[in-house]
Amino acid sequence: MTGLLPRRVALISVHTSPLAQPGVGDAGGMNVYVWQTAKRLAQRGVEVEIFTRATSSTDDPVVTAAPGVTVRNVVAGPFEGLDKRDLPTQLCAFTAGVLRAEAGRPVGYYDLVHSHYWLSGQVGWLVRDRWAVPLVHTAHTLAAVKNASLAAGDTPEPPMRQVGEQQVVDEADRLIVNTESEAQQLISIHGADPARIDVVTPGADLDCYTPGSRTQARLEFGLDPDEVVVTFVGRIQPLKAPDVLLRAAAPLIRRGLADGKKLRLLIAGGPSGSGLDRPSSLIDLARELGVESSVTFIPPQSPQRLVQVYRASDLVAVPSYSESFGLVAIEAQATGVPVLAADVGGLGVAVKNGVSGVLVDGHDIDDWSAVLDRLLGDLPGLEAMGAAAHQHAQHFSWDHTADQLLAGYGKAIETFRSRTALRTAASPGAAKLNGADAEDDRPLARIARRFAGRRNGVRT
């Protein structure tokens, strides 16, 4: 790890607060990522300020969320009722709020800005120019990847997002990805420079997600200790494909398992994204399939309760059409529960196929039903897989993630300072603007260079 470490980092998470409950609205794995890494960066002596959009009039402007971690709720647009697709209209207001917060600080207050998701990246590159610090960006998901694997009837990501992602990729000093396959996507889709990409593997809170009593956990949720429980955890939307699991499990529920045991599905989550158009769609589907009485729905859970959801399970399913990594898979395995997952995105890294779980190629209902039948027909084998899953998950921790992030931050700072020094040496008499070379790094000059050789903002 390089010695050039930041004293203070600004994290930007426009569309969702790290303090929000995952599984509600747009809150999900990115919330967990931002919150867990922020806490661990602070534990390593790095002060962290997180800028997010206020979504309630009761939100305090500034919240001390943990030692060394401050959350700033920036007012930008209406507090409620603003869809994520409309947030680009509020980026100017949000950016102004971020710049105002920094304006009251001494010059050089932040050493680095780290943006999460493309909306935040749009803000990140502007404040980077104003503050003259490096920009590190994590996309979390890419529009082109999501559009290539849409669920039937789901809404594709708009061209505006793809253009915005291209701009951020071009502007960022370093790009953080979850897996090597995601790095290759950035290179092939957006022409990213491989030398600017760092692979940083997400993790799980291994102190929270540990094995425990299955019987006790089931009693807490009113589940029959003698049933076989398969669990889905996540936002209820087509992208996450809970309907695939429900359709695959329905024939097994109706006829019963090979040893005469009954199968129950446990669904933990709330409607999100395009799922908000039909918030009761999964309940309606269970009724149509005739398995309503064997499906238990519970709302999103706090980490302290979510660990009990995992412990209550014989198997956790992650049937998503697209996942940049899949934190649910790691959390479940850390709790000692094997995972059945679609072989997409980072799930091929999160799940060790045939050891800690099973990966299914595609989303064919018959294929999923056959794999479910095979796994649930061998409960002793499933228990052994759960023990292997716990061991596999120990390789993924947020502490390791924080260490990898700090290494990436160090490289970003070193490269940024070296580049600034070279420009200063090449033009020693040039006036400075906001700490950057006025001739080479004026915002208008940067915009002109950014769109040189492009058509409609897309790389040509």
User: Is 21 annotated as contributing to ligand binding?
Assistant: yes
User: Is 26 annotated as contributing to ligand binding?
Assistant: yes
User: Is 22 annotated as contributing to ligand binding?
Assistant: yes
Q: How many CA atoms lie within 13 A of 155 on its CB side?
A: 11
Rounded (5°) CA angle 220-387-217 = 0
User: Is 84 annotated as contributing to ligand binding?
Assistant: yes
User: Is 323 annotated as contributing to ligand binding?
Assistant: yes
Q: What are phi and psi of 255, to 5 degrees?
A: -95, -15
User: Is 141 annotated as contributing to ligand binding?
Assistant: yes
User: Is 352 annotated as contributing to ligand binding?
Assistant: no
User: Is 15 annotated as contributing to ligand binding?
Assistant: yes
User: Is 1 annotated as contributing to ligand binding?
Assistant: no
User: Is 456 annotated as contributing to ligand binding?
Assistant: no
Q: Are 192 and 213 in contact (CB under 8 A)?
A: no
User: Is 212 annotated as contributing to ligand binding?
Assistant: no
User: Is 235 annotated as contributing to ligand binding?
Assistant: yes
Dihedral of the alpha carbons of 190, 191, 192, 194, in degrees to the nearest 10 = 140
Instruction: Name the 3-class secondary structure at 43.
Output: helix
Instruction: Name the 3-class secondary structure at 162.
Output: helix
Q: Which distant-in-sequence residues (6+ apart) come within 8 Å of 221 by Cβ?
A: 266, 296, 298, 308, 309, 312
User: Is 110 annotated as contributing to ligand binding?
Assistant: no
User: Is 165 annotated as contributing to ligand binding?
Assistant: no
User: Is 117 annotated as contributing to ligand binding?
Assistant: yes
Candidates 127, 133, 135; CA nearest to 101 is: 127
- State how far the Cα of 133 lies from the Cα of 409, in Å rounded to an integer: 11
User: Is 27 annotated as contributing to ligand binding?
Assistant: yes
**Per-residue buried b or exposed e for 317-329, using 16+ beta carbons within 10 Å of the residue's own CB:** bbbbbbbbbbbbb
Q: Name the token pair of 153.
A: 């009837």
User: Is 181 annotated as contributing to ligand binding?
Assistant: no
User: Is 377 annotated as contributing to ligand binding?
Assistant: no
User: Is 81 annotated as contributing to ligand binding?
Assistant: no
Query: Which residues are known binding-site members for UDP-N-acetyl-alpha-D-glucosamine?
Result: 21-22, 29, 235, 240, 301, 323, 331
Query: Which residues are known binding-site members for 1D-myo-inositol 3-phosphate?
Result: 15, 26-31, 84, 117, 141, 161
Query: Which residues are known binding-site members?
Result: 15, 21-22, 26-31, 84, 117, 141, 161, 235, 240, 301, 310-311, 313, 323, 331
Query: Which residues are known binding-site members for Mg(2+)?
Result: 310-311, 313
